[in-house]
Amino acid sequence: MLQLRPNCEYCDKGLPPSATDARICSYECTFCADCADNVLCNVCPNCGGGFAPRPIRPSVARRQGVGLPHQPASTARVHMKKDRAEAAAFSQSLRAIPPAER
């Protein structure tokens, strides 16, 4: 089950469960679309993978036992483990390689 982390790990922008600009890698590292596209160039600074739009969990339980009322989003804010300079250098070194080939 996706954690639906509440913020961009780079700029700390709030990303509520309904955010259409949330991007995640396969490890659920979470970034806003602006940081993922324009700062990180589709390279996760934590794992080197690419980003995909984060799915939006239904806010209403339209099926019994599913949706935000039953599986709420995380409230724990997460920040990058690397500093911005290291993240930029890492992104620069991998951005020319398509995610499927990294």
State the pTM of this model.
0.92
Mean pLDDT of 52-71: 95
Residue-wise pLDDT for 64-77, tens only, equals: 999 999 999 999 99
In a domain, residue 66? The reply is yes
Percent of the chain with pLDDT over 90: 98
Question: Among 68, 44, 49, 48, which residue's Cα sits nearest to residue 58?
Answer: 68
Q: Is residue 52 part of a domain?
A: yes
- The answer to whether position 45 is within a domain reads yes
Residues 53, 10, 72, 61, CA torsion sign: negative
The residue segments making up the domain with residue 70 are 22-95
- 101 occurs within a structural domain: no
Please give the tally of structural domains in the chain.
1
> Could you tell me if residue 18 is left (phi over 0), alpha (psi between -120 and 50 degrees) or otherwise beta?
alpha
Q: What is the pLDDT of residues 8-28, one digit of tens each?
A: 999 999 999 999 999 999 999
- Is there a domain that residue 88 lies in? yes
C-alpha 65: how far from chain center: 25
Residue 74 maps to a domain: yes
Whether 87 and 80 have beta carbons less than 8 Å apart is answered as yes
